[in-house]
Amino acid sequence: MQNQNSQSFPTHIDAAGDARMVDVSAKSPTVRVATAEGRVRMEETTLKAIEAGNAPKGDVLATARLAGIMAAKQTAGLIPLCHPLPLQKIDVQIVADDQLPGYQIQATVKTKAETGVEMEALTAVSVAALTLYDMAKALEKSMEIEGIRLVRKTGGKSGDYRRS
């Protein structure tokens, strides 16, 4: 099989066409880092209430940040074919953006392992965004979660990637 960059990659399908976890035991552990991002768009009044600490459920940003960290550690239990990885670093940043209005979320995950941490970074952003929504839904139900994507990754056989 070939991906859009014409590089070969391990398949997650066996000879019978069944999904399987790829065997990475022959690969050497290397340092791998991935960063993902996403946004939660909301009304300006909701943003101001969160920034002022006036959300009914408490500290929205601290709770969302912790949820993102916890989610990254649980990725293998959520995504069926992901390998459980020893994570050495998980950093979740949530920054107010008056232009959205809303919040920009970025997660960076680091490991020294046989496979990468892209899914852990994406999971951290996704769950942080969902938690932010949950913590503030009493203020506004029309918030939108958007733009969740991989920004960059380093390490591994496929090399480095940076979104242009």
| Active-site residue, from 23, 97, 134, 160 | 134
**How would you write the chain as a 3-class SS string?**
CECCCCCECCCCECCCCCECCCCCCCCCCEEEEEEEEEEEECCHHHHHHHHCCCCCCCCHHHHHHHHHHHHHHCHHHHCCCCCCCCEEEEEEEEEEECCCCEEEEEEEEEEEECCCCHHHHHHHHHHHHHHHHHHHCCCCCCCEEEEEEEEEEECCCCCCEECC
12 is in an annotated binding site: no
81 assigned binding-site residue? yes
Q: Is 14 a catalytic residue?
A: no
Annotated binding residue 83: yes
Write out the catalytic residue numbers: 134
Question: Can you say which residues are annotated as belonging to the binding site?
Answer: 81-83, 119-120
Question: Can you say which residues are annotated as belonging to the binding site for substrate?
Answer: 81-83, 119-120
